[in-house]
Chain A
Amino acid sequence: MDEDIIEFGLYVPPHPHPLLSPEANDGYGRLRAAYDECRKRIEESDADLIIVYSTTWPSIIGHQFQANPNSEWTHVDDDFHYLGSMPYSFTMDAEFAASCVEKAESRGLQARTVNYDAFPIDTGSITALSLLNPDNRLPATIVSSNMYANRSETIVLGKAIRDALREGGRKAVVVVVSSLSNRMFTEPIDPSEDRIHSQKDDDWNRKILEFFEDGRLEDLSQLSREIHGQIRVQKVVAYKPAWWMAATMGQHNNYSGEILAYEALHGSGGAVIQLTPATGSVGDKEFDEDDVEYYKGDREVLNKGMLE
């Protein structure tokens, strides 16, 4: 069962504001508090590893896994450099990263570890790991987001990581670093006046949050192309985080979902969300086809949503 290898999953935003300027806006502060709560939950969990998939680390040569045991530098964001520098020192699990590469290759993917002094870890990964694992209590690895990869490649990547977790007998917290809607304001703003860029973005974000709250991860995965078309600036070929998260955590809808925060980050949709593998929720969701042992009726699927 999935909970053997996945303790829980987190979906967090890539922007540096919760790390560098949480006081600038009440919303940034709430995101920071949500990060802090997740940090505590990780500390109290049985996880022995953190796996980060970052949408702000693009790769071209296949899929890259961060494997520098002591990854240290001072990073500055390209856009938000005026908020300050981001010194970091992260402990990476080189052995697990190598295992992921092996499993990815055995599933037909191009993959490699990266282990270089001064390698530029991205803003999103630094923000997430600095806030979720500040003392390097757990080792981590970071997975790149290949700019040409689409659904099948991304899902196979997630499955390869599951292979590595199973083989190593590991238990991980999975962290996806991504905005919901990713359209930012293209002008400087007063942080106190930050808001979601448009009503449409906000509406879609809230719909996605409903799915997360209901634990419908596989449904979100299935909706990825629609989400990409509706609320993602077309910088890359597809919205991949839900594909990767579902493939890595388990492609079903049996999760307990919790929205810890949802706020604007320079116009984009930033949310801190926890998904925990669960049992007992079969029957009220769409892509939850279980290995049925006893017939329990038609689950009233066709009656749902009908006009009364």
Chain B
Amino acid sequence: MPKGEIVLGALAPHPPHVVYAENPPQNEPISEGGWETLRWGYNRLARKLENLDYDAIVVFTPHWQTYVGTHFLGLPRFTSKSVDPIFPNIFRYNYDLQVDVDLSEAMCEKAAEAGLITRMMRNPDFRVDYGTITSCHMLNPKWDKPVITISSNRNTHYYSPEVMIEQALALGKACREAIEESGKRVVLVSSHSLSHRHFVTESPLPEDMSREHIYNHSQYVWDMALIKLFREGKMKEAIDIMPEYTEQTIAETEGGGIIWMMGAMGMPDYPAEIYGYQSVIGTGNCIAAWVPEPDAREIVL
């Protein structure tokens, strides 16, 4: 069996607004569009993924929040309706996803061997979080690849950003080992925004783009500083500033997604492909991809 590998890692923000704006048949609310910069970036990355040979998508999501260890989806299929508790007016999505349970169990086992607290989630009534659904829908709207969702352990709040980083890196390394032993080709998805301060009011038409902008300039400057490091392939430096970045922008990086992904990918030192940056209800969202195979890398933006 050939050694498994990570073929691409994507930073894939999950504001449900982008699914709402796409008007897929699975989502009940109807929109007039909006957030095109993000959606078109997503559409382009989805086209790239269509031409990549891969077996499964592994998603790390901050909207499955666990305090007792890290949890992994552990049943072959989940079918239900996801209603966003924050934005129920725009996201009520009927999903039907397949899970690669073998790989999920292997990652869970490797993480446990590395000393992390882990648990498989095998309750059939469990509702998969909207972060997973939004990122996966935008990256693979056909839903023709199995998915594995990994929960976000809340180390940042319980201990410190530094403890979270250490554990997220260890989790990433464990997942990489499991992927390599599986012989599978895998896409990793870190599902989160960058800066994460929301407006607490909403325009009557949520997709009214005349009202959309970043919450404040400080958030924008910090987001750009981080994206500059992405572009330059300086991911170790990006992780090094992550505690301060997260504190300054109350960023969704506090969940550990991109750190887990960088840990799994061996801390890339090559430039990321940038597919777009746009604010959604004040938060900063960047779509980026890291591609280990040099011949498959592009300069997108």
Contacts and interface: CB of A to CB of B under 8 A. Distances in A.
B126 A81 contact: yes
Interface string B130-160: 0000000000000000000001011001100
Nearest to A146: B200
Interface stretch (A39-47, A115-123, A199-207, A239-247): A115-123
Interface string B104-122: 0000000000000101011
Contact of B83 (A118, A146, A148): A118
Nearest to B85: A120
Contacts of A152: none
B204 to A, nearest CB: 12
A198 interface: no
A71 to B, nearest CB: 11
Given A116-B92, A233-B157, A61 B151 contact: no
Contacts, number: 91
B86 interface: yes
A60 B198 contact: yes
Given A82-B123, A110-B201, A188-B69, A61 B86 contact: yes
Interface stretch (B59-67, B225-233, B267-275): B59-67
B66 A79 contact: yes
Interface stretch (A154-162, A178-186, A300-308): A178-186
B160 to A, nearest CB: 11
A114 interface: yes
Contacts of B126: 76, 81
A234 interface: yes
A196 to B, nearest CB: 16
Contact of A188 (B92, B119, B123, B198): B119
A188 to B, nearest CB: 6
Interface in B239-285: 281
Nearest to A235: B157
Interface in B170-194: none
B40 interface: no
A58 B85 contact: yes
Contacts of A120: 83, 85, 127
Contacts of B198: 60, 148
B68 interface: yes
B154 to A, nearest CB: 7
Interface string A70-81: 000011101101
Given A186-B158, A188-B119, A235-B157, A119 B68 contact: no
B293 interface: no
Contacts of A61: 86-87, 200-202
Interface in A131-163: 146, 148
Nearest to A110: B201
Interface in A220-252: 233-235
Nearest to B125: A85
Interface in A32-87: 57-62, 74-76, 78-79, 81-82, 84-85
B93 to A, nearest CB: 10
Contact of B69 (A57, A183, A187, A234): A187
Given A74-B125, A187-B117, 15 more contacts: A60-B198, A61-B202, A76-B126, A76-B127, A78-B64, A78-B65, A78-B66, A79-B71, A81-B71, A85-B125, A116-B92, A117-B92, A118-B80, A148-B198, A184-B67
Sort A-B residue pairs by CB-CB distance and give the 5 closest, nearest first: A85-B125, A81-B123, A76-B126, A118-B81, A74-B125
19 contacts: A58-B85, A60-B86, A60-B87, A61-B87, A61-B201, A61-B202, A62-B201, A78-B64, A79-B67, A81-B122, A84-B123, A110-B200, A114-B88, A116-B88, A118-B80, A119-B88, A120-B83, A187-B69, A233-B154
